[in-house]
Structures are given as C-alpha cells and as structure tokens.
Amino acid sequence: MVTTHLDKPYSSEEAEPVMASILGHLEDLGLLQRGRCFVEFGAGRGKLSHWIHEDLKTHEDLQLLLVERSSTRFKVDGKHQDTGAEFERLQVDIQHLDLRKVPLLQQKKLPLVGVGKHLCGAATDLALRCLLETSKVREETEPAPKRLRSSEPRPGEDPETSEPGPGTGPVLGMALALCCHHRCEWRHYVGQQFFLQRGLGPAEFSAFCRMSSWATCGFRLSNQDCPSQDPTNQRVEHEGHKPAAETDAVTGACLSACLPVCLSVSERQHVGRLCKLMIDGGRHHFLKTKGFSSKLIRYVEPQVTLENILLTAVPSCPSSFQEESHPE
C-alpha cells in the first residue's frame, strides 16, 4: 500500500526537503499548475503556500486559501499581498469550515487542490471531510436545485465527488503530509466504516492510535513524552495540551492484553508503523468511496522526519473539466 518516492525532484534549491518533495509530488500529479485554488490546511506560517506561489507566481488565476485555527506570528503570506495571486487567510477550526461559504472560492470557482504539511491527527480527517463532504451536507439540509441540461454530468462523472458545492469549483486532488496518528479521534475519523467492516470499533481504534506512537518513539509506553500535539490542527510547540479523551481511554493494561509485554524497541516501532498503516487504510477506503484514487508515499528519508508519509489523491475518472482547466 505504501510506495517510496524519496525527495521527489523539484526545481527550487531553496525550499527545504519536506517542502520540495511535496511540491514535486504535486507537480508529478499535474496539480501544480495555473488556474487552481490551493487550500492549505493547518497552514501555520504559510510556508507551503509560499513555495507554491513562488513556482506559479508568473501565472494568472492563482488563489491560495490558508486555513489555521491559531493566531500565528511571522506569517509569510503577508509578503505576497502586492502580487497578482489572491491570498486569503482564515483563522478557523477546520471542523467548522464550509468551503462553499468562502467568498474567495465563489469568485472564480477555480478547481481546488488540498495541501498540508504535517497535518496532525484528526486534522487530516477534518480536512478530507471539508474537501469532499460539503455537497453531502448541502443535500441533506437544502432542496436539490434543478439541474440545467448544459450542466448534466458526463458519462463516468460522479457529481458528488467532482463538485463539492455550488460555491466552489471541483476538487482536482490533494497532497497531505500525515502526522501524529496517536492524536486521531474516532468521532472525526473518516475510516469508521473501514474499521467496522472488519469487526473493529472505537475501543480498538483507540488502541491503534495509542500504539501508533511507537513508530516514532518505540521505547515509550505512553505518548505523553512525545512532542506536544493538538488533535485537530498543527503541532503546538510552546503550549501543552490535554490528551484526547478517546486515546486516554486505553490504559496500559489494555495494551498489555493486546501484545506481549516484553517487546524490543524495534518490535514496538514495527507495531507502531502497522497501526499507522491501518489508520491510513481507512482514509484510503474513504477516498475510494468518494471516487478518488489515493496513494501513501514515503516522500522523504526518515533522517529528515520520522513522519514521512504523504497521502495523495486524484479523481479515479478525471472529468473533461480537468483537461480544460490547463490548456496548452
């Protein structure tokens, strides 16, 4: 399930390895082009959007929407206010974001590309729902509009996955650098059906989350000694946090019942990687049900970061709109 494409070649020599590799994979997927709106989840200072802009700044029709819950110092997007690109920063929790209500996305309705650098824990699941379930929410709360003949879907096109809502363009793909699976939460997890179909539920999911921390700190029984993380956003470097209730519900006794007590560091790390893979398997299944083809890619060496898995996805049956969005 996991492929290895380390340090994907990219033209910029200044971008750090993580950024350069993410941009390289976006380029490889055909997503790093003009006529796009890039939505960066958990944007922090906005460095990923900065490098996307640096690559595409000579092109027209470029929008960058930066989503970050916390107030951030030293933001780099302020440097691009006088350029031709449209930058907008939203200080909002991803779980409360409705993309079809964002004025920037309503203006040109450019196709969307979701990106994220080290999107921690449940923030990944919230970002996936934000991108792909907006139309479903609308269908449940509002009457369906009468479809015009000129806008009827073409054969093989899934209207639910290609158009997230009347106020936005279609989702062309995404590249999300995954991080901190031990901060995932069952209530936000997009792969619940994946677990339930295998006879697993919230309790087992919590065990997988707890043990996933062994992949990056295999010698620790608890994740409390790991770097502080926020369960639904980026890493919190200077402030502590209360552990997620569902994760803490799994006690050391429960974990001991799951696996032999005496595990070596390497064995713990291997178990942790398998737990991460299981959690990501649910995300892969979710994307498939939404009409997307996804991959899990080791995109940088573990010496750069132990959290080195990139989730990429593009529509399984690209519509003709995608082909028209970047003409020669």
Mean pLDDT of 127-137: 78
Q: What is the DSSP string of 71-94?
A: --SS-SGGGGTTSSSEEEEE-S-G
CA 216 to chain centre: 20
Question: Is residue 58 helix, strand or coil?
Answer: coil
Report the sign of the C-alpha dihedral through residues 12, 13, 19, 22, in that order. Answer: positive
Tokens 């470097």, residue located: 237
Q: What pLDDT shows up at residue 76?
A: 73
Q: Which whole number is the average pLDDT over 244-265? A: 54
Looking at per-residue pLDDT, the higher value among 319 and 246 belongs to 319
Q: What is the mean pLDDT of the chain?
A: 77
Q: What is the mean pLDDT of residues 62-85?
A: 77
If you average pLDDT over residues 86-115, what whole number do you get?
92
Does 151 have pLDDT greater than 70?
Answer: no
Range from 11-20, 237-246, 280-289 carrying the lowest mean pLDDT: 237-246
Q: Residue 325, Cβ neighbours under 10 Å: how many?
A: 18
Region of poorest pLDDT, from 1-10, 249-258, 260-269: 249-258
* In the chain, where the domains are located: 2-140+160-181+282-324, 192-273
For the domain made up of 2-140+160-181+282-324, give the CATH fold. Answer: Rossmann fold (3.40.50)
Lowest mean pLDDT among 44-58, 103-117, 152-166, 208-222: 152-166
Q: What is the pLDDT of residue 317?
A: 82
